[in-house]
Amino acid sequence: MFLFYHDVIDNELFTLSLEESRHCVKALRHKNGDLIQVTDGSGHLATAEIVDANLQQCLIRIIERHLNPQRSLFLHIAVAPTKNIDRMEWLVEKAIEMGVEKISFIQCDHSERVHVDLNRMHRIAVSAMKQSQTTRIPEMELIGLLQLFSQYGEENCDKLIAWCDADTQSQLINYQINTDKIILLIGPEGDFSQRETEIAFQKGFESVKLGNRRLRTETAALYGCAILAGKELNIKKEIKL
């Protein structure tokens, strides 16, 4: 059953957006009486019947709805956006497939890009969510690194920072998660500055390595997503045992 997006699915009757209506009626050739699935990107999933297969305002009726549970591990990736924004758009798409709950685009001392079109990122996130048949769009923000430190510095969660000049031999793949929330910082191509790493350590962040190779920013972020998503599966397995 095809999945569509609508920001609110509380009402019994509502119309899909112009883009979703065209996709539903023109591209997929759905007709009156067909059943589809709709999500609001916040975990709610509804089965709906097409009442009026209108090309511009497809009217649907909700038959049943339920809320998918949140993951047992809240995964937050904070990454410095690259000069080539296409690489960040690729990352958003893949991170959603991995199940990331939050993506912060951080502005650092050595950042090459200071602006990110969050509306465009949201559209990419919606498309990725529908493609991967999931029901949650991660929260996304553009934030200064020091502001992020002030918001999360005192929070009770696992706080990690990956940077190229770290002397640590602690590998992310071996990291033991202690809480139900984890944030991983990935710096720009020029890496975090010494000032930033010093503040990070003062705020309780631990230094980790992402393998033994130097990775591009988006590759490092995706590697971190994959490793931490896999750790969530191990946590669930241990709970069952």
Q: Are residues 104 and 212 in the same domain?
A: yes
161-203 residue pLDDT tens: 998 765 777 899 999 999 999 999 999 988 899 999 999 999 9
Q: How many domains does the chain have?
A: 2
Does residue 104 sit in the same domain as residue 216?
Answer: yes
Instruction: Give the structural domain span for 132.
Output: 74-240
- Residues recorded for the chain: 241
| Span 106-138, pLDDT tens digits | 999 999 898 999 999 999 999 999 999 999 999
Dihedral angle of Cα 73, 79, 82, 87, to the nearest 10 degrees: 0
- Regarding whether 112 and 18 lie in a shared domain, the answer is no
Residues 86 and 42 both lie in one domain? no
Residues 10 and 128 in one domain: no
- Where does the pLDDT of residue 233 fall: very low under 50, low under 70, confident under 90, or very high at 90 and above? low
pLDDT at 236 over 60: no
The whole-model pTM stands at: 0.89
Residue written as token pair 């031999």: 169
Rg over CA atoms, the chain: 20
* Contact predicate 16/8, CB 8 Å: no
Give me the CATH number covering residue 227: 3.40.1280.10
**Amino acid at the residue 87:** R
